[in-house]
Every structure is written in structure tokens, then in C-alpha cells.
Structure 1
Amino acid sequence: MRHTDVLVVGAGPTGLFLAAELALSGVGVRVVERLEEPDPTIKAGSVNVASAEILDRRGLLPAAESVQRRLLASAGTFAREGAEREDGQLDGLERAYRRFPVVGHFAGMLFRDDLVDQDDPALAAHTAVANGVLVPQRDLEALLAEHCARLGVEIRRGVEVRGLRGTGADRTGGADDTGVVVETSEGDMTAAWLVAADGGRSVIRKQLGVAFDGTDPQMVGYQAIADFADASGLKRGWTWTPRGVYSYGPVPGRILVARFAPQPADRNAPVTLEELQRVVREVTGTDVTLTGLRGRATRWSDNARQARTYRHGRVLLAGDAAHVHSPFSGQGLNLGLGDAVNLGWKLAATVQGRAPDGLLDTYESERRPVAAWVLNWTRAQVALLRGDEQTAQLRSLVRDELLTVPGAMNRVVALSSGIMQRYDVAEEPVPPVGSVAGDVELASGGRLADHAHDGRFVLVDRSPDGRFGAVVRPWEDRIACVSDPAADASLPSLLVRPDGVVVWAATEDAATVDADARTRLDAALRRWAGAREACPSAPGR
């Protein structure tokens, strides 16, 4: 039997990024994927700011920016072919250099760039990734596969998982040293730990009997890139009708259509051209003719569920295996990347025997509330999409009254972007402790993200005498220490976890120059980085 430290099931964005995080820490990891080739089905069309910042911290922002440039070149031409420009979204992206990228929608109501205050501190701290958010899921998967290849991660495609054995995956939730035996179409594989990132219909979650609580679907949606005989009858952007909602563009031929209807008898059946055309005509009220599909069309629903537990012994759930919901705003992709970056370093520390007590448990305690919030965020959008007159009036109120208020637009954009996530990481959290670091520019040049590429903690020591760097020295194998004395005493020194979360901060004033700041730093290190004793460094460090 082939053995590895961690076996990841699923080569979507969640599984690929998680595997890369483990490899960065020197953990042996293998990825197995049921599909022979990357899924060509059209899915999320972009990542949010929080996800782009995850890529930035691992040195992948230039690749994301390259994808966005290509996509804008295509989508911009298509959008300008129309007489109407209802959203202004592409213009905003094209000029988004060091501005907060205003991309997305709430229930089809597009975010308006002109109503967003770029001086809002909550947004201004997250502008470095402005040119790297328009990355479709298929391009992201290719980008992450290349990242994994550079790190030496083994990805085996065409491997079907058929079952689990071993006490490491027993129903009691306990864990021992025997690990997990995974039955696959290529024979048995063993791993000390198993991560199920195998999607909303996770074979592993079902076999373990983990409850998947939530709400049943009310909507059936379709998305595809299609060829049309004549698409002049379709409006660009989002359009509500009495029969549902549809969106045409901005990528040439992209059509999304959804209606409130019973689920098909066979949800796994491929979407045919005839089925898609029938639904498009029904919802749009036009006689548009589809002449072909580019790649596969996808069918989806607003099924919203969350696993009752994210851990079962030595088996962990991540991404859609842990939570599903409607795809509006592409939140599933971003939620999965957030799971991966949160879990990766914690699982690596556990595998290597240097994790502080309870570290791995914080994966679920931190990520479950975020997923629950996203499920409610998507449920609210579905509720606003109904075609009845009462819902239309409510939608008009939200669109024309609430979302025309600059402060309200700022808040909705910030929430959708993922930058408002907060974790309970300290007994007495003082901002920015518990939040994602965002853009931290250094007086010496560069940014904090430049020092996070290898997946370690980062300490930005802005004290004039390097006192905080001295505190972290016993942890130097797992912390990148950046000495950055600042002329502005209001700029705090920071300790940032590998997932970008600030777990300690101290400004250079009378309240923090004494031993208290060093004591709090030592406590944060013990809680999150483990004991002082050095551990073997990862390869290449």
C-alpha cells in the first residue's frame, strides 16, 4: 500500500491549494481526483478580494493579474458591442490600479463603483490585489495545479475513492496512530490524515455518516458559454422576469439562467443543448436559438447545507464537502480557499508534532461560523430573485433606496469581498487583531505579503530597537521576522499567521513599550506557533 502523510481527495481549488500549503511546510501529500481531466464546466467567474490576497501571500498574484488582463481584453470588447452599459463594472476593473475592486452583485443588483468610497479605511487597506480578482475558476485551477507541480505535489487523476477503513476514520471521532486506509480504483492507499475536498456530493462525508443539515432547493439554475444564432433579444447584465432571472455576458456567449422549479429527476444527467435552450426561452421570454455549447453546461440549485462536524477522527472536510449553497457571487470558491488556507498550516503543524494543544480544533471553530454566514448571504439573495410582484417591490426598495446610499454600498461590497471576517484569536482582541492583514506596506520597501510566500508566520517588528524580534527568536524556524522601524509611531508591529490573520499587534507608545507587549507576543506565539523548541525546517528554508 502506498502511504503518505496527508491524502487529499479532490483536485478542485480547495484541494489543490490545501495540498500546496502542506507541501510548503514539508509535509508529504498526495492528491487523488475522480476526473481524468480538469472539469471544463463553467463555474465561478472571479475570486473575491480575500481570495486574491491568499494568492498574493503565496506569490501567485502576478499569475492572477495575467489572467485578468486576458479576460478583460475579451470581455471588454464584447461589452462595448452593446448599446447599453448598465453596470460600469468593466470600466472600473480596467482602471483598478491600487483601488478597491468593485466587482460582483447581490441578487443580480450590481455593485456600483461610483457609490463606493475608496477612502473608507476598511477598503483602503485591501487594494494591492485590485488587478487580480477577475480569475475564473477554471483558470484558477490551472494556476494552482502549476503551483502544486512546482512544489512536487503528486496529483493522480482518474482515481475513484470507493471506501475507507481503519480506526483513524471510526465513528467515535477518535484518532490514533494507525491513520486511514482509503480504498480506491488503483488499490488501497494509506495516510496519517485524510482531507475530503470531493465536492458537495462527497463520497467520504456520506460514508462517514456526517449529517448535512440545511434547507432544500427551490431553484434550478444553468450556466454555460453558448453560441447563439441571434442573441439580440437578450439584455446584457442581470435581468429579472416573472419566470426567473438571467444574466448574459460579460464573457462572450456566457449565459446564466435560473427559475423556481422542481429539481430534475436525474440531477446527474448532462445538460443538453435542447434542455438549456428550453429553459433560456422560458425564462427570458424570447425565441433565441442556441446553436452549440463551448465546453459543458452546468446545472445547479440553491441547496444550502453544512456538515454538522468538519472532523471525524483523522478525516477532515473542506470546501463543498463541508458546505454547499447557491453559486451567486461565486462565494463557494472563495469559501473553499478560505478553508484551505486556514487548515493547511494547522494540519501541517499537527502532522509534524509541533502543534499547540487544540490547534487543529480551531479549524472548525473558526470556519464553521464563516460558512454559516455565507449560507445565509446566499439564501437572502435567492429570496430576492422571485418573480412575483411583492418580491419585485422588495427588490426595487433594496436596489433603488438602500443600495444607492454610499455607506450601504461600501458595507455590502466589503462583506461580499470577504475582508470583514473576524476570528477569536486573543483574550483581549484590539483591532487589527483577529482580522485579515490586508496590504501592509513596509518602510523599508515592499509589503508584508512579500515575506509570506513560504507559508510561515510573519512578524513585522516596527520597534526602534528590535525588541519584538528578540522575543520570536526561539521560533525562527517557523517565523519570518521583518525588521521595519517606522517613523510613524501609530503604525503597529504585527504577528500574522500563515493564513494572513493578525494574532498580535502593538504600537510604539507608553502603553505597549513595556513588558506587557512582549508578554502578549509570547502568549500569541505559544497559542498559535507552539512550543519554543525548534522543529525541523521545511525543505528549502
Structure 2
Amino acid sequence: MMHNSNADDAALTTDVVVVGGGPVGLMLAGELRAGGVEALVLEKLVEPVGHDRAGALHIRTVETLDLRGLLDRFLEGTQVAKGLPFAGIFTQGLDFGLVDTRHPYTALVPQSRTEALLAEHAREAGAEIRRGHEVTGLRQDAEAVEVTVAGPSGPYRVRARYAVGCDGGRSTVRRLAGIGFPGTEATVRALIGYVTTPEREVPRRWERTPDGILVLAFPPEGGLGRVVVIEYGHSPAADEGPVTLEDLDAAVARVRGTPLTLTEPVSWLSRFGDASRQAKRYRSGRVLLAGDAAHVHFPIGGQGLNTGLQDAVNLGWKLAARVRGWGSEELLDTYHDERHPVAERVLLNTRAQLALMRPDEQHTTPLRGFVEELLGTDEVNRYFTGMITGTDVRYATFAPAAPARPHPWAGRFAGGLVLSGPSGEPVPVAELLRSARPLLLDLAGRADLREATRPWSDRVSVVAGEATVEPPAQALLVRPDGYVAWAGSPAATADELRASLARWFGPPAAASLPATGSLPATRSVPAAEGAP
């Protein structure tokens, strides 16, 4: 609940102000509320744009939605895909069946629906969302961030502990915070439109032509459909202003070679390019960046939205921990350390895919043939599939000084594991993370490890059960985002666990900073005898 901090200047106070009310900002707001802190979302648009540029939620995002109990909402009435093309290679695409997951599919959810569902979730969690409120200024000091806002009733200021820019590739927050955004300029121009055609039986196709790439998706009887046109060798520098139906019509005719009748009504038109840029740092003091504000790239493979949502889930619990007093500055810095390399790799693979799509029969087409052959082998296909779906992400930061060689499970995603309870009932770890509370999974009846966790019982739950994991682990300390902070081998000691608990989840309760209240308890497998 926000309140006036100074009646004279009408400044408001909240824990975190999230600038940008798209999917990433809304996901972050929900995560902050799950962590027990206030979140105010400021979005300059009065109403959602309603566009569906992104429409695929990949495996790791699906798994993450499952962690928070949101997956059923997203899957209701939703189609799923068991694979996707890589660089437009459909004959031998990515095979999701090769991924070790309970959810081997991409959920084909339009971006407008994703935004609506996440807004619903954020409000239910207690976040405040203000539409039609544009951030125009920002300054920070040692204690807080103050943003100036142009609202429907006039300007005002919000003072918060932290501010997070989730406000897109042209981020105002990034600019005002003075964070650099280096990268490469666009070299192709592309148009996308949801438009109408009276023509029947327009082939549904993804096609490389001598002049570019054409994507058509219309119903057999004609009507409203989707068109994407990508033209190589055309500088997009002069392409400014709104896209018209005539612009799209002309581009389709150039790339297709023959015109396609496009008419009103038009649902949505936009342009994009292949500029690849990434913020030099994701944090500057009390200001952080997530989603497109932190990284932009050519939108192929649906990776932009998914990468941004994973940014939000990585950042949310860490920022909440810092606000509540038990998270350290070093913990908050791991957000950049963990997420910057992930987006860097996305920028790399999107540039590679765009190069593989180039309509060059002499050079590119033979290369596509070799890539197609390689995708036919399970090992290579699994590698590319993990990269595109985010399931190959493993974090290796903020690890204890010992052991020199961390356990193979350290840094991996454990949200897909299923435990066997005392009566043999299967209990997905995802269900145990509904409240975004860290877990110690005791997989081998280690009473010493359970006892070591007791001083952190206000923040960490202990769950005893059996799980078959390879390579074997005695216990897993799981972060709220589902990733393993520490994994214990048979030789693991309670001191090792205590060191990881302190690094990730702050000092023990007796030595902690002023109390801010306990997080809600999570559902757990009935503990084994002797468990706390």
C-alpha cells in the first residue's frame, strides 16, 4: 500500500517502481509481490496495444509459469507446438521431445493474451498498475530513486527504494540512468501486419525468394491474417513514421514477385529491423533494466519475450530480498552476472539465423543444407533446442569458495523434478515453489542438513522426499526461480550448506537485519522423521 511521504510535494512512496506495463513489467510486479514487497507499475499507454508480434512461450517459460501456478490459465484453449524451425528450416526443425522436461512443447499464446493474463495475476497479487502515466525524469541518491511522472491529472513524483526499466528498446529509464546500449545498427527492413485479403486459398508459407523472406498465414476462405515481409539489402534508416497498408502491399509485391490483394480492416501494422543491442550493465545503483530495455535483437524464434520474462523471474526474488533486508548487494549484482550472458547468446543466435535466411543461392543455400543435415542428429538438435527454448541455461555465479569443482546440479533448473513422498505419491517440485519461497530438498534423509537450515526457517522451507536425479545428489538448495543454489554430494557437510544459505538467503535469523515478517509457508511433502 503506497502513501504520501510529503504532502507538500505530493511525492509517493513504494518499494519498487516498475516502468513499463508490458509482459515483462507485469511478470516482475507479480514476482515482487510474491516476495512480499510493494510494486507500482507505470505504463504510458492508456490501453494495451493489442498486438501479437510475439506468440510463443517456450519450454523454460512454460516451466516457470508452472512454478507460480499460472500455467493452467495460459494453456486454456491454447495450441501447443512440439517443435519449431531454426532459421526457417522446416524440413528438419527443433525437436522438443529431446528435452528432459515435463512440458516438451511451446505454448502458442498471443502476446496480447499473455499481457492480459499477467496483468490479472499482478493485480491479484496486490500490485498497482497505472496506465496513462509516463515517466519523464529520474534521479537517485543513496536512499532511493525518484521518478517524475506525467499523469492524466498532471505531473507528480514517486519515490521508491528501486526502479526497474521494463519500458522497451527505446527505454526512457535506461537513457535517464545513463546506461550505455552498444550494438549493431539494422541492416534489413521488415514489416508485419494483421490485415485482410479477399483472396481465397492463399498458401500458408514461409518462403525465401530472391528478394527476401515472405510469411503468409491466412484462413482458406480469406479474411484476417498475418503477413511478414523481410527485405535484405535495404537500409532501414529512412523508414520512419507509421506503416500504411500501401507500404505493406508494395513490400509483399516486391518479395513475392506478384501482388497480393490486401484490404481493410487492418488490425495492426508495424516495422522492425535487425538491430542488436545490449545494455552494458543491467544495474546502475538503484536502477535496473529487464526485457527489451536491456536487450534488443531480430525477432526470430520468439526469444525476446521469453528472455525478458526470465529476466523478471531472476530479478524479482533478489530485489524483494534486498528490499526486505536479508538480500545483499552482491546477491542483487548476480542479476546482471547471470542474465547478461544469456541475452548475449540470444543476440548471437538471432544474427546467425538471419544470416542463414539470407536469399543467396551461391553461398547461403549450401550452408543451410549443411545445417539441415546437422539438425537431423539428436546431439546437435538437442543443443539448438536447448539454446532457443532456454532449457540449457545454467547459472554459475555467487558460488561458495569450496568445493573447487561444484556439483553438476549446481546452477541447473530443478523446477521440473518430481519427488516421491513418504506414501509414494508424486509431488512436482514446481508445486512446492508456488509461493516463491526457497527450498532445501533433502533427498537422502540427511538430518544434519535439515538441522543446519533451521536458523533460516523464516525464509527457507525444508522438504524431505525421494527423487531420482543423475548425477545423484544428497540435497538440493533451490532458489525461488527454480534454479539450484547448492547441491550436496555424499561428502557434503552442514558447514557447506550454511555457507550457501548465507550467500543466497542472508544471515541466519538470530543475526539478521530488522525483521520484516516471514514469507508465507509453502506446501511441502510430509517431512521424514526428524525433519524440522
Q: What TM-score, normalized to structure 2?
A: 0.86
- Write the distance in 2 (CA, Å) between the matches of 1:430 and 1:7: 37
1:386 aligns with 2:358: yes
2:50 paired with 1:43: no
Match of residue 468 from structure 1: 449
Aligned equivalents of 1:266, 1:488: Cα separation in 2: 53
Confirm whether residue 442 of structure 1 aligns to residue 425 of structure 2. Answer: no
| Equivalent-residue separation in structure 1 for 2:392 and 2:478 (angstroms) | 16
Contiguous gaps of at least 5 residues in structure 1: 73-92, 94-100, 169-175
2:145 is matched with: 179
SS at match of 1:227: strand
Distance 1:293 1:435, change over 3 A: farther
- In structure 2, C-alpha distance between the alignment counterparts of 1:200 and 1:538, rounded to whole Å: 37
Q: Structure 1 pair 231/204, CA: closer, same or farther in 2 (3 Å)?
A: farther
- 2:126 matched to 1:147? no
| Change beyond 3 A, Cα 1:11–1:262 | same
Letter in 1 for 2:107: V
Partner of 1:523: 499
Aligned to 2:21: 11
Q: In 1, are the aligned partners of 2:417 and 2:467 still within 8 Å (CA)?
A: no
Displacement after TM superposition at 1:250 (Å) = 8.1
2:213 alignment partner in structure 1: 245
Task: Return the match for 1:360 from 332, 345, 350.
Answer: 332
Pairwise CA distance, 1:438:
4.2
Deviation at 1:67, TM superposition (A): 4.4
Q: Which structure would you say has the larger RCO, counting Cα contacts within 8 Å and 6 or more residues apart?
A: 1
1:259 equivalent in alignment to 2:231: yes
**One-letter code aligned to 1:3:** T
- In the TM superposition, 1:101-116 aligns within 5 A as 102-110=82-90, 112=92, 116=95
Aligned 1:303-452 pairs, distance under 5 A? 303-425=275-397, 426=399, 427=401, 428-444=405-421, 445-452=426-433
Give me the whole-angstrom Cα distance separating, in 1, the residues matched to 2:231 and 2:486.
Answer: 48
Deviation at 1:434, TM superposition (A): 1.1
Post-superposition Cα deviations, 1:111-151, rounded to whole Å, max 9, x if no partner, equal: 847x8484x5xx12x1x234662222211111111111111
Aligned partner of 2:530 in structure 1 is: none
- Structure 2 CA distance for partners of 1:131 and 1:405, relative to 1, 3 Å: closer
Tell me which amino acid in the other structure corresponds to 1:248: L
Greater shift in the superposed pair: 484-493 or 383-392: 484-493
Q: CA deviation at 1:522?
A: 1.4
- C-alpha contact 2:16 2:164 (8 A) present in aligned 1: yes
Distance 1:112 1:536, change over 3 A: farther
Q: CA distance change for structure 1 residues 494 and 528 in 2, over 3 Å: closer, same or farther?
A: same
1:459: which partner in 2?
440
Q: Which runs of 4+ in 1 moved over 6 A?
A: none
1:430 aligned partner, one-letter code: H
Tell whether 2:258 aligns with 1:286. yes
Change (3 A) 1:492 1:419: farther
Choose which of 223, 227, 231 in structure 1 pairs with 2:196: 227
How far apart in 2 are the matches of 1:66 and 1:293? 28
- Partner of 2:194, secondary structure, is strand
Q: How does 1:471-486 map to 2 (within 5 A)?
A: 471-485=452-466
**Are the counterparts in 2 of residues 111 and 409 from structure 1 also a CA contact under 8 Å?**
no
SS at match of 1:295: strand
- Structure 1 residue identity aligned to 2:188: M
After TM superposition, list the pairs within 5 Å mapping 1:24-173 onto structure 2.
24-68=34-78, 72=79, 93=80, 102-110=82-90, 112=92, 116=95, 118=97, 120=98, 123-124=99-100, 126=101, 128-130=102-104, 133-165=107-139, 167-168=140-141
Aligned to 2:3: none
Which stretch has the larger CA shift, 416-425 or 151-160?
416-425
| Contact kept in structure 2, 1:235 and 1:248, CA below 8 Å | yes
**Residues 132 and 386 of structure 1: CA distance in aligned 2, closer, same or farther (over 3 Å):** closer
Q: Distance in 1 between matches of 2:36 and 2:341?
A: 30
Q: Which residue type is aligned with residue 227 of structure 1?
A: T
Gap change, CA 1:151 and 1:539, over 3 Å in 2: farther
Q: Which one-letter code corresponds to 2:464 in the other structure?
A: S
Q: Taking structure 1 as reference, are residues 129 and 20 closer, same or farther at Cα in structure 2, changes over 3 Å only? A: same
Greater shift after overlay, 482-491 or 290-299? Answer: 482-491
> Deviations along 1:49-102, whole A, 9 cap, x unmatched?
11111111111111121142xxx3xxxxxxxxxxxxxxxxxxxx4xxxxxxx63
Distance 1:274 1:130, change over 3 A: same
Change (3 A) 1:414 1:182: same
Q: Secondary structure, in 3 states, of the residue corresponding to 1:305?
A: strand
Report the Cα distance in structure 1 between the residues aligned to 2:370 and 2:124, rounded to whole angstroms: 47
d(CA) in 1 for partners of 2:164, 2:103: 29
Q: Distance in 2 between matches of 1:179 and 1:40?
A: 31
- For the Cα contact (< 8 Å) 1:257–1:280, is it kept in 2? yes
Deviation at residue 278 of structure 1 after TM alignment: 1.2
> Which whole-Å CA distance do the structure 2 matches of 1:202 and 1:156 have between them?
18
Q: Which amino acid counterpart does residue 262 of structure 1 have in structure 2?
A: S
Cα distance in 2, alignment partners of residues 325 and 132 from structure 1: 20
CA distance in 2, matches of 1:486, 1:386: 47
Q: Are 1:196 and 1:315, in contact at CA under 8 Å, matched by a contact in 2?
A: yes
Unmatched tracts of structure 2, length 5 or more? 1-10, 522-532
What is the TM-score when the length of structure 1 is the normalising length? 0.85
Please give the alpha-carbon distance, in whole angstroms, between the structure 1 residues aligned to 2:29 and 2:91: 34
Counterparts of 2:216 and 2:385 in 1: how far apart (Å)? Answer: 22
Contact 2:443-2:475 at 8 Å conserved across structures: yes
What value does the CA root-mean-square deviation take over the aligned residues? Answer: 2.3
Question: Aligned in 2, Cα 1:117/1:271: closer, same or farther, shift over 3 Å?
Answer: closer
Within 1, Cα distance between the matches of 2:248 and 2:329? 52
Of all paired residues, the percent bearing the same amino acid is 40
Counterpart check, 1:203 vs 2:179: no
